């Protein structure tokens, strides 16, 4: 167990070495799999650590690397007559720890000094007093394994299986009750507000409309249509980001739904810019109206021109590869992101229309 070593701040080593990824791997004597583990904050064996240290010496990397071993354990002595209570909106999301990691801690598995700070913050957050626990340093004969520290973060503060399981685990193992009603009420109010619409009626005499040039008439009509369509898609994006059903499958459905709406929104944004380019700049109307539009609008137009000047911007890529048609690119590299802790999750959304989607979610 003590053979595992955490290399802290590996990202600093990568940037400090100043080498392309494949060259750095060759110099350090490690594989892409090991590199992925290091980027995830996972530990490596002593042999891998020695290889990395030797490679850094050859590269004349002068900064010392910080290495930790899991050499601490948690000892609980919870007072039986205490009932602990906290409200979710008063808790720092970064202080929460997943049930899987908490279970490992209670099994007596070891963790590093750095993780001990995270653990103290968590115990304080769930109102465990300082005299009810201790963090002890262990000897080399400890054989209960080590804590998967890199998996301690809870992915969702409000919904999903992780938070539901955490509430139950804390109640059963720490006698801690967490109230989240206020946060849920605030969330529902925000959703309701985001769906509200202000409808304004503008009455324009037909004589004023016909007095405009054909280019101006076309610009007014098409800009109004584009503005309304964008507003609808933005509201859909807000709606799609929220769902009340709990569970891994519903999380997968919500992510897929949100991605579909965002792709359509990105495609519409791209088309709206083409509309501005054709109807405003292409007709010469920009020269007529540039001097009278607001300074803020002028700045926004300049920013849009800079952004869309490059055809490789993300909005253009989404529009060309995902929004309105399906790309013929090879997409199998998505399977490379599945690790030993992940699996391919397939859901089917039925009833009136049948659909199926594949998404990668934590196991």
What DSSP string runs through 119-171? HHHHHHHTT--GGGEEEEE--TT--S-B--GGG---S-SSSSHHHHHHHHHHH
pLDDT of residue 188: 66
Q: Are residues 23 and 140 in the same domain?
A: no
Q: In the predicted model, is pLDDT for residue 201 greater than 90?
A: no
- Rounded distance between C-alpha atoms, residue 249 and residue 29, angstroms: 40
Q: Are residues 214 and 167 in the same domain?
A: no
Reported as a single tens digit per residue, the pLDDT across 293-323 is: 999 999 999 999 999 987 778 898 888 888 8
Question: Rg of the Cα trace of the chain?
Answer: 28
User: Among 183, 214, 242, which residue terminates a domain?
Assistant: 183
Largest pairwise CA distance in the chain: 92
pLDDT of residue 362: 46
pLDDT of residue 76: 93
Q: Is residue 284 included in any domain, yes or no?
A: yes
Q: In the predicted model, is pLDDT for residue 118 greater than 90?
A: yes
Q: Are residues 213 and 353 in the same domain?
A: yes
Q: Is residue 190 included in any domain, yes or no?
A: no
The full DSSP string for 158-169 is SSSHHHHHHHHH
Does the pTM exceed 0.75? Answer: no
Q: Sign of the C-alpha dihedral, residues 128, 130, 132, 137?
A: positive
Q: Are residues 147 and 199 in the same domain?
A: no
Q: Which of 154, 142, 149, 155 is nearest to 43 (CA)?
A: 149
Query: What is the arithmetic mean of pLDDT over 129-146?
Result: 85
Q: How confident is the model at residue 354 (pLDDT cuts 50, 70, 90)?
A: very low
Query: What is the arithmetic mean of pLDDT over 327-333?
Result: 74
Q: Is residue 1 included in any domain, yes or no?
A: no
Q: Is residue 60 included in any domain, yes or no?
A: yes
pLDDT of residue 310: 77
Q: Is residue 276 included in any domain, yes or no?
A: yes
Q: How many domains does the chain have?
A: 3
Of 226-240, 243-257, 258-272, the one with minimum mean pLDDT is 243-257
User: Among 46, 68, 90, which residue terminates a domain?
Assistant: 68
Q: Are residues 97 and 39 in the same domain?
A: no
Query: What is the arithmetic mean of pLDDT over 239-258?
Result: 72
Q: Which of 174, 159, 196 is nearest to 126 (CA)?
A: 174
DSSP state of 319: I
Q: Are residues 329 and 261 in the same domain?
A: yes
Mean pLDDT of the chain: 83
Query: What is the arithmetic mean of pLDDT over 272-280?
Result: 94
- Rounded distance between C-alpha atoms, residue 360 and residue 317, angstroms: 22
Q: Are residues 47 and 147 in the same domain?
A: no
Q: Is residue 278 included in any domain, yes or no?
A: yes
Q: Higher confidence at residue 361 or residue 217?
A: 217
User: Among 126, 158, 183, which residue terminates a domain?
Assistant: 183
Q: Which residues pair with 346 in a beta bridge?
A: 358
**Cα atoms in the 13 Å half-sphere on the side-chain side of 225:** 10
Q: Are residues 286 and 338 in the same domain?
A: yes
List, as own/partner pairs, every contact residues 189-193 make where C-beta atoms lie below 8 angstroms and the sequence separation is at least 24, other chains included: 191/238, 191/239, 191/242
Q: Is residue 222 included in any domain, yes or no?
A: yes
Q: Is residue 189 included in any domain, yes or no?
A: no
pLDDT of residue 353: 47
- What is the CB neighbour count within 10 angstroms for residue 97? 25
pLDDT of residue 363: 43
- Rounded distance between C-alpha atoms, residue 318 and residue 325, angstroms: 10
Q: Sign of the C-alpha dihedral, residues 235, 241, 246, 247?
A: positive
Of 36-40, 88-92, 150-154, the one with minimum mean pLDDT is 88-92
- Rounded distance between C-alpha atoms, residue 38 and residue 53, angstroms: 14
- Give the domain range for residue 231: 195-362
**Which of 137-141, 199-203, 295-299, 341-345 is modeled with the greatest confidence?**
295-299
Q: Are residues 172 and 290 in the same domain?
A: no
Q: Are residues 229 and 134 in the same domain?
A: no
- The answer to whether the CB of 133 falls within 8 A of the CB of 76 is yes
- The answer to whether the CB of 29 falls within 8 A of the CB of 51 is yes
Q: Are residues 128 and 243 in the same domain?
A: no
Question: Residue 221 — φ and ψ, nearest 5°?
Answer: -70, -45
Q: In the predicted model, is pLDDT for residue 242 greater than 80?
A: no
Burial 225-259 (b: 16+ CB within 10 A, else e): ebeeeeeebeebebebeeeeeeeebbbbbbbbbbe
C-alpha to C-alpha distances, 283 to 42, 205, 268, 301, 318, nearest whole angstrom: 58, 24, 21, 16, 27
Query: What is the arithmetic mean of pLDDT over 190-215?
Result: 79
Q: Are residues 58 and 125 in the same domain?
A: no
């Amino acid at each position: 167990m003590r053979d595992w070593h955490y290399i802290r701040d590996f990202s600093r080593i990568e940037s400090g070495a100043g080498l392309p990824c494949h060259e750095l791997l060759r110099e350090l004597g490690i594989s892409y799999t090991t590199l992925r583990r290091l980027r995830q904050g996972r530990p490596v064996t002593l042999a891998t650590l020695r290889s990395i240290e030797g490679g850094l010496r050859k590269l004349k990397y002068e900064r010392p690397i910080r290495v930790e071993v899991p050499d601490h354990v948690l000892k609980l002595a919870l007072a039986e007559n205490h009932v602990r209570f906290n409200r979710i909106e008063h808790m720092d999301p970064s202080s929460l720890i997943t049930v899987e990691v908490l279970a490992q801690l209670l099994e007596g598995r070891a963790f590093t000094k750095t993780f001990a700070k995270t653990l103290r913050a968590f115990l304080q957050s769930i109102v465990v007093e300082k005299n009810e626990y201790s963090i002890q340093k262990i000897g080399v004969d400890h054989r209960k394994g080590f804590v998967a520290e890199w998996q301690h973060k809870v992915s969702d503060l409000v919904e999903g299986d992780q938070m539901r399981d955490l509430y139950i685990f804390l109640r059963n193992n720490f006698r801690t009750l967490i109230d989240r009603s206020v946060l849920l009420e605030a969330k529902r109010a925000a959703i309701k507000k985001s769906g509200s619409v202000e409808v304004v009626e503008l009455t324009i005499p037909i004589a004023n409309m016909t007095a405009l040039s054909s280019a101006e008439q076309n610009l007014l009509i098409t800009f109004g249509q584009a503005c309304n369509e964008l507003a609808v898609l933005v509201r859909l994006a807000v709606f799609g980001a929220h769902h009340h059903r709990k569970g891994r499958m519903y999380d997968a459905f919500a992510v897929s739904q949100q991605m579909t709406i965002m792709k359509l929104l990105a495609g519409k944004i791209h088309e709206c810019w083409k509309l501005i380019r054709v109807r405003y700049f292409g007709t010469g109307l920009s020269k007529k109206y540039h001097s009278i539009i607001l300074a803020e609008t002028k700045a926004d137009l300049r920013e849009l021109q800079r952004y869309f000047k490059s055809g490789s911007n993300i909005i253009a890529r989404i529009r060309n590869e995902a929004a309105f048609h399906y790309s013929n690119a090879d997409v199998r590299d998505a399977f490379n992101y599945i690790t030993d802790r992940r699996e391919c999750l397939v859901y089917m959304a039925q009833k009136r229309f049948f659909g199926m989607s594949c998404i990668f979610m934590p196991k």
